[in-house]
Amino acid sequence: MSVVTWSAERTSGSARTGTLQTPHGDIPTPAFMPVGTRATVKGVDRNDLIACGADIILANTYHLMLRPGEGVVKGLGGLHGFAAWERPILTDSGGFQIFSLSSKVTEEGVAFRSTYDGSPVMLTPERAIQVQEDLGADIAMVLDVLVGLPAERSVLDSAVERTLRWTERALGAKRRDDRAVFGIVQGGVDPVLRRKSARGTASLDVAGFGIGGLSVGETGHECNAAIEATVPELPDDKVRYVMGLGDTEGMLDAIERGVDLFDCVLPTRLARHGKVLSRSGDYSIKKAEWVSSADPLMPGCTCYTCATYSRGYVRHLFNTKELLALRLATIHNLTYTLTLMADARQAILDDRYASFSAEVKDRRL
């Protein structure tokens, strides 16, 4: 039995809610993980994250193994001690970052050069698990083979097969019984390959499932179709996590199809560029129309930014390049996203998820 488990509470159609139990606390699902690539979510600290409603954050294996190194992090108390974050942490395997580099993929693993000093690095399925165990994450992701879309079917099929073999190797390398390993389903937008990958991954002793290979060039319709092909092949009693998905409509669609967990840099990255997420439609705070606005970034939002500052003030901060602008916008966008998850959960509990999702989408048009 894995130390990380998911227990169901209620369904509304195919949408479901439950609780993900980890050594560092329970996570009500559906849930969103703010991305703390280098053991920090850009622009905010731990107190901000807690105030925004974050139950879990994600950190990046690729970056942390290179700088400062997993040994340094381990010596400073693992990620929980290093980042002073007592709540759960999931680490990705680094596959997505390597996908964007000039890397060489073989059966052994992935060879690439460090983005920091150019030194050669070899990451294998076993090494990815060892690094994540040293980092002390509650949930470690297996090393997978990510393919950009569109792609030839033969390329996708090869990635599916290799990811399954790498998953078996990763599980064989696991040494910590107090941490969990999640498998990753690949297959692009091919429903046959998605089902094949999901069935193969479900046959292995993983604690949960990442649905990978999405948000890499496919349309929203293709993403939904890939999720629809995947979810029925996965067991009902384990968590389902769509990797890299974080837009409002995409997450609502995925929840409707039985997904529990998400992560994405979108809320924080947009915030740093002055893009405000809102239930009435996203907008740029930098526009001149807000110069004298006394309204909060989003009426009804309870975040620190909206409770304290006006649109006119936040616009002023952005247009004068004050660093505070980045923090205030990030706090709002994270609160917006995390509140969306909490509201979706309540709608499932109330058996009104379909109407809730439709209402949110209609208001944002």
pLDDT value at residue 101: 73
List the 104-105 sheet strands across, edge first. Answer: 104-105, 110-113, 120-123
Least confident of 28-42, 115-129, 159-173, 330-344: 115-129
Which residues fall within 8 angstroms of residue 237, CB to CB, at 6 or more apart?
5, 6, 7, 8
pLDDT value at residue 147: 85
Mean pLDDT, the chain, whole residue set: 96
pTM over 0.85: yes
Confidence of residue 7 (pLDDT cuts 50, 70, 90): very high
Give yes or no for residue 97 having a pLDDT over 80: no
Cα–Cα distance list, 269 to 40, 85, 115, 301, 331 (Å)? 13, 21, 20, 20, 12
Ramachandran category for residue 261: left, alpha or beta (phi over 0 → left; psi -120 to 50 → alpha): beta
**Once rounded to an integer, what is the mean pLDDT over residues 116-142?**
96
Q: Which amino acid is at 266?
A: L
pLDDT value at residue 247: 97
Cα–Cα distance list, 329 to 146, 251, 281, 339 (Å)? 32, 21, 15, 15
What amino acid positions are annotated as catalytic residues? 92, 263
Confidence of residue 287 (pLDDT cuts 50, 70, 90): very high
Task: Please tell me the chain's helix, strand, coil percentages from 3-state DSSP, rounded to the nearest 5.
Answer: 45, 20, 40
Of 1, 3, 41, which Cα lies nearest the Cα of 20? 3
Residue spans of the domains in the chain: they are 20-264, 266-359
Q: How far apart are CA 255 and CA 344, in angstroms?
A: 8
Of 25, 30, 27, which Cα lies nearest the Cα of 14? 30
Query: CATH number of the domain at 20-264, please?
Result: 3.20.20.105
Give yes or no for residue 1 having a pLDDT over 60: no
Confidence of residue 53 (pLDDT cuts 50, 70, 90): very high
pLDDT value at residue 11: 98
Give yes or no for residue 202 having a pLDDT over 90: yes
Give yes or no for residue 128 having a pLDDT over 80: yes
pLDDT value at residue 318: 98
List the 5-12 sheet strands across, edge first. Answer: 5-12, 15-22, 25-29
For the chain, percent of residues with pLDDT exceeding 90: 91
Bridge partners of 120? 113
pLDDT tens digit sequence for 57-91: 999 999 999 999 999 999 999 999 999 999 999 99
DSSP string for residues in 256-283: HTT--EEEESHHHHHHHTTEEP-TT--E
Confidence of residue 216 (pLDDT cuts 50, 70, 90): confident
Of 211, 225, 255, 229, which Cα lies nearest the Cα of 347? 255
- For 188, list phi and psi in degrees, rounded to 5: 60, -135
- The secondary element (H helix, E strand) that includes residue 70 is helix 70-75
Give yes or no for residue 145 having a pLDDT over 60: yes
Confidence of residue 149 (pLDDT cuts 50, 70, 90): confident
**Once rounded to an integer, what is the mean pLDDT over residues 185-191?**
96
Q: How far apart are CA 146 and CA 163, in angstroms?
A: 9
Ramachandran category for residue 286: left, alpha or beta (phi over 0 → left; psi -120 to 50 → alpha): alpha
Least confident of 130-139, 210-219, 355-364: 210-219
